Amino acid sequence: MQNYKNKTQQASNTINQQGPTWAAMNPEFVARMQLQNRFNTGLDIAKYTAKIMREDMASYDKDPANYTQSLGCWHGFIGQQKMISIKKHFGTTRSRYLYLSGWMVAAMRSEFGPLPDQSMHEKTSVPALIEELYTFLKQADGRELQHLFKEMDDAREAGDQVREQAAQQSIDNFETHVVPIIADIDAGFGNEEATYLLAKKMIEAGACCIQIENQVSDAKQCGHQDGKVTVPHEDFLAKINAVRYAFLELGVDDGVIVARTDSLGAGLTQKIPVSQSEGDLAEQYNAFIDGEEVTSLEQMKSGDMAIKLGDRLIKPTRLANGLVRFKPNTGEDRVVLDCINSLQNGADLLWIETEKPHIGQIASIVNRIRDVMPNAKLVYNNSPSFNWTLNFRQQVFDAWLAEGKSVAEYQREQLMSQDYDNTPLSAEADERIRCFQKDAAAQAGIFHHLITLPTYHTAALSTDNLAKDYFGEMGMLGYVKEVQRKEIRQGLACVKHQDMSGSNMGDDHKEYFSGAQALKASGKDNTMNQFAI
């Protein structure tokens, strides 16, 4: 809890020690500026938010109803508005984070322009976005506190001590908009040294939680695309070590590492690791390699390779590009092995990339992991790459069919059709979607639910609707009715965009610095006065 009077007294003591040369300094103004800038560095943020995540993880272990959530944000303003809205609607930011998606960095923040999610964007753009997000969140703190300071000043001027005390109490109990960011480092952008160097930059920018995946860095694909290639466990664990060393070097001792496995959908490996002892990780990894048993050298041709697996000699199945194929239908077993070994070697949370949002499928994998690691917890991607409507309608269709209920009026492959929107099947599917996060947290070990790319899609949808109306018959009414009027009636603070951008804080600072000579922007002729919010 921040104490306004203590801050003011401390500032007064500092100023008085300097004598008359600092007479222009107002201790109360110093206290206000300090409170509006609670975090001086990104490391301050990382240490603060890591503690929050650890507390939330412990809370989830006690009760899975205490799961956490986030939305992916591609710009500081988007992250800021999300947290302002959460505080407005729910009164607290607790258990709500931000997610930084490598996909959105590639698609929207690269100097090359829009790129696919294949680690082609500049690695520096990731820590740059972390810093930008926290800059906007800190500005949200400053703006909201500025309003509380003004409320306190107005109460003083009116001689209303009760109102003044209430304002001061709100200042002392102010909850910051700064929350944990789960930051995507993709596959580490190179070898383990490259991963370490980038992780340091991300932590210095404020990241308390770094998510890393087990794909080959230079062949990385989006988790929902084909052609994914995984690395041997030793390679992945080296990168987990690199991230942990980065956290420890910078003093973020409780930094969080999310180990993501793409093995469920990845059927290829680039390397065949060397086994050092019977039953080691390399041997376990190689046991999944697909191939033809070799009983005679005549089966081999120039360029072929063979590997001994147990008592058998195998010629691995290789593609024309040299990549080696895993045995079919081994993805789940490889996922379980990946997850157990990641948790046993320094990871804190797991991310299992699945091909559909199915609680039963996720739970079946997690239960196998928890047989070995009872406290295993997942970060799960509620991905826009899933067709949620079709997936859940088909899940209900299949469940009803198994229960003997009639599905004669439905065509399974056509369930996305609007014709089914008002049917009992779609109603049950929607209810399952509504409860998916709560049920998956309880049944499938999911500690954190996120949507990777929601604000990418909301920006496209809202822009499409505005363009359709504004450039069509509605003209200016398309903006006024569908945007501004709704902003006003829903109490969106950004309807007063000058205030949101920091104009009123700037006026305060001018007054601090120049006194009565300050030229302010917030006078009677400011058109923002037309808005009562």
Residue 30, classed as helix, strand or coil, is helix
Give start and end residues of each alpha helix (H) in 215-280.
233-249
202 with 235, same domain: the answer is yes
Q: Report whether pLDDT(9) > 90.
A: yes
The domain total for the chain is: 2
| pLDDT tens by residue, 347-370 | 999 999 898 999 999 999 999 999
337 with 425, same domain: the answer is yes
Residue 480 lies in domain: 472-512
- Asked if the structure places residue 322 within a domain, the reply is no
365 with 336, same domain: the answer is yes
- Asked if the structure places residue 351 within a domain, the reply is yes
| pLDDT tens by residue, 101-116 | 999 999 999 899 888 7
420 with 351, same domain: the answer is yes
Task: Tell me the C-alpha to C-alpha distance, in Å, between residue 33 and each of 4, 146, 163, 188.
Answer: 11, 9, 22, 38
What's the mean pLDDT in 125-129?
96
What's the mean pLDDT in 394-421?
97
- Asked if the structure places residue 152 within a domain, the reply is no
What's the mean pLDDT in 250-268?
94
- Asked if the structure places residue 304 within a domain, the reply is no
Q: How confident is the model at residue 514 (pLDDT cuts 50, 70, 90)?
A: confident
Quote the pLDDT of residue 516. Answer: 81
345 with 415, same domain: the answer is yes
- Asked if the structure places residue 348 within a domain, the reply is yes
Q: What is the largest CA-CA distance in the chain?
A: 100
Active site residue 494: no
360 with 486, same domain: the answer is no
355 with 430, same domain: the answer is yes
Q: Report whether pLDDT(30) > 50.
A: yes
Average pLDDT of the chain, as a whole number: 93
Q: What is the DSSP letter of 174?
A: P
- Asked if the structure places residue 67 within a domain, the reply is yes
Residue pair 350/379 in contact by the 8 Å Cβ criterion: yes
Q: Report whether pLDDT(176) > 70.
A: yes
423 with 334, same domain: the answer is yes
Q: CA-to-CA distance for 397 and 399, rounded, in angstroms?
A: 6
Residue 184 annotated as part of some ligand binding site: yes
- pLDDT above 70 as % of the chain: 95
Instruction: Taking each helix axis as running N to C, give the angle between helix 27-36 and helix 503-514, from 0 to 180 degrees, rounded to the nearest 10.
Output: 150
- Asked if the structure places residue 298 within a domain, the reply is no
Q: What is the DSSP letter of 275?
A: P
Instruction: Answer with the one of 457, 485, 504 that is the final residue of a domain.
Output: 457
Quote the pLDDT of residue 177. Answer: 98
- Asked if the structure places residue 302 within a domain, the reply is no
355 with 499, same domain: the answer is no
Residues in the chain: 533
Residue given tokens 């729910």 in the structure block: 90
Quote the pLDDT of residue 482. Answer: 94
Q: What is the CATH number of the domain that holds 384?
A: 3.20.20.60
Residue among 73, 208, 209, 222 flagged as catalytic: 222
| pLDDT tens by residue, 289-336 | 999 998 888 788 888 889 988 888 999 999 988 899 999 999 999 999
Quote the pLDDT of residue 216. Answer: 83
478 with 439, same domain: the answer is no
Tell me the pTM. Answer: 0.93
What's the mean pLDDT in 468-495?
94
Quote the pLDDT of residue 223. Answer: 47
450 with 490, same domain: the answer is no
| pLDDT tens by residue, 217-252 | 766 665 455 568 899 999 999 999 999 999 999 999
Residue pair 176/141 in contact by the 8 Å Cβ criterion: yes
| pLDDT tens by residue, 330-345 | 999 999 999 999 999 9
123 with 45, same domain: the answer is yes
- pLDDT above 90 as % of the chain: 80
Q: How confident is the model at residue 372 (pLDDT cuts 50, 70, 90)?
A: very high
Q: Report whether pLDDT(23) > 60.
A: yes
